[in-house]
Amino acid sequence: MAAKAEIKEVKDLPGVGPQAVEKLFSAGYKSLEAIAVASPMELIEASGLGEGTAEKAIKAARDALEMGYESADILAERRKLVGRVTTGSKELDTLIGGGIETQSITEIYGKFASGKTQWCFQTAVMVQKPVGEGGLGGNCLYIDSENSFRPERVTAIAEANGMNVEEVLKNIFVARAYNADHQMLLAEKATELIHEKNIKLVIVDSLTAQFRSEFIGRGQLADRQQRLNKHMRVLMRLAEMSNVAVLVTNQVMERPDIMFGDPTAPVGGNVVGHASKTRLYLRKGKENKRIAKLVDSPSLPDGEAVYAVTERGIEDIEE
């Protein structure tokens, strides 16, 4: 019992020296919680620790935090801390249980011009609203892998919502990801900014674009999926441990084995599918109409919502 009490910080873990601590901190492993939920391989890559030492450090962190089984009532209390960011459409919010929730990853996918990036602009603004007005009173971290971020769209949405445009723009921290490794690094570095910048929403637009362009052909598929899996684990850890909302957009591909129905499928396969707790498929309708289909959710029934994308942002369709 005494050993548990002594381990209060990362530097107290057995076998983890000052140099290893510095490397772990640089990689975003700054707390016992972050160490406890990591895999040995992740710690080895981040700090250069030996496999045995990494396993002992993880076990010690888990023992210190008394991680293990918890009763469902404790989990229910933790779920009460979940916040939601409004999409700007009551129809959409109803479909996804009140808005984009914290502590999990929400994935939206669809063809070109289906309106995926509009969700990113919209929520980057809405998250800054007070809790009582559909926001979380926090800021946004925006990883842009397709050079699609447009401040003018953010400005239009902020103005439509009666918000201070200058303040809204200052509260969105954008990083351009130039390749898959850079994108993964930006996600890992996000931990450092979440508390420093009051981040409540992390956006990745798009999740798979860089991976698709770099890992071509079936020969590189396994490597691509392995890296995607690691990337998704980092995003999951951000969402769960920092109680932030994570929104990712995804590209689609045509499945030749589908004879009937819609052959469109999101890129990334089961690796992305299992990590994303809420999945939405977006389709373009007539004029400015869009259709969102809830494909997967742990607690919500499948359904669809029709909404509009206008100069003001995402809105309900006027009757």
Single-letter amino acid code for the residue at 156? A
Report pLDDT for 261. Answer: 55
Report pLDDT for 108. Answer: 97
Q: Which of residues 124 and 21 earns the better pLDDT score?
A: 124
Which of 3.40.50.300, 3.30.70.420, 3.40.50.2000, 3.40.50.150 would CATH assign to domain 78-315?
A: 3.40.50.300
Residue ranges of the chain that CATH labels 1.10.150.20: 2-65
Average pLDDT, the chain: 90
- The 3-class SS string of the chain reads CHHHHHCCCHHHCCCCCHHHHHHHHHCCCCCHHHHHCCCHHHHHHHHCCCHHHHHHHHHHHHHHHCCCCCCHHHHHHHHCCCCEECCCCHHHHHHCCCCEEECCEEEEEECCCCCHHHHHHHHHHHCCCCHHHCCCCCEEEEEECCCCCCHHHHHHHHHHCCCCHHHHHHCEEEEECCCHHHHHHHHHHHHHHHHHCCEEEEEEECCCHHHHHHCCCHHHHHHHHHHHHHHHHHHHHHHHHHCCEEEEEECEEECCCCCCCCCEEECCHHHHHHHCCEEEEEEECCCCEEEEEEEECCCCCCEEEEEEEECCEEECCCC
Say what the pTM is. 0.84
Span 63-75, mean pLDDT? Answer: 82
Span 9-26, mean pLDDT? Answer: 89
pLDDT digits (tens, 9 = 90+) for 216-274: 877 777 888 889 999 999 999 999 989 999 999 999 876 655 555 565 778 887 878 88
Q: Which tokens sit at 187?
A: 């996600």
Q: How, if at all, do strands 303-310 and 289-296 pair? A: antiparallel
Report pLDDT for 258. Answer: 59
pLDDT digits (tens, 9 = 90+) for 78-91: 888 999 999 999 99
Span 138-152, mean pLDDT? Answer: 97
Is 215's pLDDT higher than 80? yes
Grade residue 2 by pLDDT with cuts at 50, 70 and 90.
very low
Instruction: Report the distance separating Cα 108 and Cα 251, nearest Å.
Output: 9
pLDDT digits (tens, 9 = 90+) for 157-211: 999 999 999 999 999 999 999 999 999 999 989 988 998 999 999 999 999 999 9
Q: How far is CA 209 from CA 179, 259, 315, in A?
A: 9, 26, 27
Q: In b/e form, how buried is each residue of 200-211, taking b as 16+ CB within 10 angstroms? A: bbbbbbbbbbbb
pLDDT digits (tens, 9 = 90+) for 261-301: 565 778 887 878 888 999 999 999 999 999 999 999 999 99
Report pLDDT for 214. Answer: 86
Single-letter amino acid code for the residue at 97? G
Instruction: Report the distance separating Cα 277 and Cα 284, nearest Å.
Output: 23
Span 22-45, mean pLDDT? Answer: 86
Report pLDDT for 254. Answer: 67
pLDDT-above-90 percentage for the chain: 61
Report pLDDT for 5. Answer: 46
Instruction: Report the distance separating Cα 45 and Cα 210, nearest Å.
Output: 22
Residue ranges of the chain that CATH labels 3.40.50.300: 78-315
Report pLDDT for 1. Answer: 37
Single-letter amino acid code for the residue at 255? R
Please give the angle made by the CA atoms of 153, 157 and 158, to the nearest 5 degrees. Answer: 115
CATH number 3.40.50.1010 is the correct assignment for the domain at 2-65: no
